[in-house]
Structure 1
Amino acid sequence: MIKSLNTAATGMLAQQNNMDVISNNIANVNTTGFKKGRAEFEDLVYHNLKDPGAASGMNSITPTGVQTGLGVRTAAIQKDFTGGSAIITRNPLDLQIEGAGFFQVRTPDGEISYTRDGSFKKDAGGRVVDKNGNALIPEIVVPPNTMALEISPSGEVRSITDQAGEPQVLGQIDLASFINPAGLKNVGKNLFLPTAASGQPQQARPGTSGLGYLAQGELEGSNVNIVDEMVNMISAQRAYETNSKVVQTADQMMQTAVNIK
């Protein structure tokens, strides 16, 4: 009976983790560039009363064995980097990556972070920064007399200062890619950091080396599907309830055994 109590408890803990992931997905349904997560589980070690293939008699072996599972645990929370829907803003500093790739920004501590959130702005010095003031890398500075800003699909940034003049090239926006983007570390504020699992970043122009092109005046919405998350939440809730019923049933069986006279 004690085994079933512990096994059901691990199931309840796993479904609680699953609900945590689902609730985070739903909370970020309107977060620009957010990528939904998915909890993945694995079974725990088994109590082997008889190994499969063990001798069961003269010249015979047991075909299946006797193995009792001891529960489940959360093995991973997988990030899904499929693209989100486009949000038209017509803001010249709003950029969407139409495909793979990450924008590069430099945080105040000098570290380079990576993001899919292309809602950029200008700071007091004209630098292009994200909503938290992290500078876009490579650095782009917009002159104060700029009348219009053009960003090509390949990332070239041009400034138009007067109607008759030629556009002035301000710089080039490069993107970064990773062999395993699911191995990136989430640090909040729509930012990721590379890890040993993600591999080192590879920089290239948009539209090359498998990277997507840039779309000016658009943002990438969250890839969370609210209907899928509601279905997943119901499934997790029912699994949690079922595991709690196992705990109650095991308790009742133990009570029956104790009350035997």
Structure 2
Amino acid sequence: MNRTMITATNTLSQLQKQMDIVSNNMANIDTTGYKRREASFTDLLFQQFNNQHNANAEGNRLTPNGIRQGVGAKLAQSKIVMSQGSIKNTDRALDAAFTKEGQYFRVLEQSENGSAIRYTRDGAFYLTPLSDTETMLVTGNGYPVLDENNNPITINGQVNDYEITTNGRLIAKMENGGTSEFNLGVVQVNKPQFLEQKGGNLLGLPENMAELNVPVNEILTELNGPMRNQVSIQQRALEQSNVDMSREMTDLINLQRAYQFQSRSVSIADQMMGLVNGIR
């Protein structure tokens, strides 16, 4: 296999990863609170041939001296785009949408491997019964919604109505005239590129946090106490995804052209090798 084939096949494998990212964005265009991902590329290692030892002889040259032979490109980063999605009114009391970028609800994901705190912008909440008089606030997937102390939100008694204030306070108005109030657990994500997609429209901290040597408070900030004034929530509404279908289709077309170009390079290299091998 010659250098042209190596360069093309290396790039093809990375273009396939970008195609997966674009496809995932398009598949989640209707997912509440979903944030699109964007791929960026960088060069793989290349060889430098300094065939001109006299730099003065290249006085009018605009590019660097020498000849560089690369081996393709690689996917450098798949970053989360945190731009605000459009707000859709639902007129449902337990629907809540963030109106500021980077703010997420805290939920408790429970799996066969244990429990872990996750983060989501999907504010479509529901109630699941724990007993005849007690209910728990959960997400659409059944994960408990946490309060500012990372405890599941449970409500005792019969409720007539719910109010979610702008700063993220849940007020349950009881049948007996009383109220039960809870501060929803909210975080501000400062460095979203450290978060990983955990499935089910959830984000979480990576498993190798100790190896990264980055404090958790640099990645996200818990908006508790006086910082709750920074929370911005709209009740009876949901945030749509920030995926632009026309943009994703344009990226997909450009990606298809790049894929065809690299595939054509492999075909041409194969034809050239066939011609060389056919010389008598």
Q: 1:209 to 1:246 in 2, by over 3 A?
A: farther
2:95 aligned with 1:86, yes or no?
A: no
42-51 or 148-157: bigger deviation:
42-51
Q: Which amino acid in 2 is paired with 1:65?
A: G
1:56-95 mapped onto 2 (5 Å cutoff): 56=54, 64-95=65-96
Secondary structure of 2:31's partner?
A: coil
Cα drift, residue 141 of structure 1: 2.5
Q: Are residues 1:173 and 2:184 paired? A: yes
1:129 to 133, 138, 159: 138
Using the TM superposition, give the Cα deviation of residue 136 of structure 1 relative to its aligned residue in structure 2, in angstroms. Answer: 1.1
Match of 2:158 in 1: 145
**1:154: which partner in 2?**
167
Cα drift, residue 257 of structure 1:
1.4
Match of 2:33 in 1: 33
Q: Name the counterpart of 1:55.
A: 53
Amino acid at match of 1:134: Y
1:135 counterpart SS class: coil
One-letter identity of the residue aligned with 2:198: V
Unaligned runs of 5+ in 2: none
Secondary structure of 1:136's counterpart equals: coil
TM-score normalized by structure 2?
0.83
The offset of 1:61, in angstroms, is 7.5
Q: For the structure 1 residues 207 and 240, does the alpha-carbon distance in structure 2 shift closer, same or farther, using more than 3 Å as the test?
A: farther
Please tell me whether the aligned partners of residues 80 and 182 of structure 1 are also in contact (alpha carbons under 8 angstroms). no
Relative distance call for 1:244 and 1:207 in structure 2 (3 A) is: farther
Does the CA-based 8 Å contact 1:150-1:159 persist in structure 2? yes
TM-score, structure 1 normalization: 0.89
Q: 1:21 to 1:207 in 2, by over 3 A?
A: farther
The 1-side partners of 2:261 and 2:269 are apart by 12
Distance 1:207 1:218 in 2: 25
Q: Does the aligned pair in 1 maintain the 2:138–2:145 contact within 8 Å? A: yes
Asked whether the 8 Å contact 1:30–1:221 carries over to 2, the reply is yes
Mapped partners of 1:45, 1:244: distance in 2: 21
Q: Any unmatched runs of 5+ in structure 1?
A: none
Aligned match for 1:119, one of 121, 124, 129? 124
For 1:258, the aligned partner's letter is N
Take 1:150 and 1:98, find their aligned partners in 2: how far apart are those partners? 17
Question: Quick one: structure 1 residues 233 and 247, their matched pair in 2 at CA, closer, same or farther if it must change by over 3 Å?
Answer: same
Tell me if the contact between 2:14 and 2:75 (Cα under 8 Å) persists in the aligned partners. yes
Structure 2: how far apart are the matches of 1:29 and 1:50?
50
**DSSP-derived class of the 1:33 partner:** coil
Superposition deviation, residue 179 in structure 1: 2.2
**Residue among 197, 213, 222 paired with 1:203:** 222
Decide whether the 8 Å contact of 1:156 with 1:169 is kept in 2.
no
Question: Please, what is the CA RMSD of the aligned residues?
Answer: 2.4
Kindly provide the amino acid, as one letter, of the partner of residue 124 in structure 1.
P
Q: In structure 2, what is the equivalent of residue 105 of structure 1?
A: 107
Query: Does the C-alpha gap of structure 1 residues 80 and 207 become closer, same or farther in structure 2, counting only changes over 3 Å?
Result: farther
Please tell me whether the aligned partners of residues 33 and 221 of structure 1 are also in contact (alpha carbons under 8 angstroms).
Answer: yes
Higher share in helix:
2
Distance in 1 between the 2:225 and 2:16 partners? Answer: 40
Partner amino acid for 1:238? R
Percent sequence identity is: 29
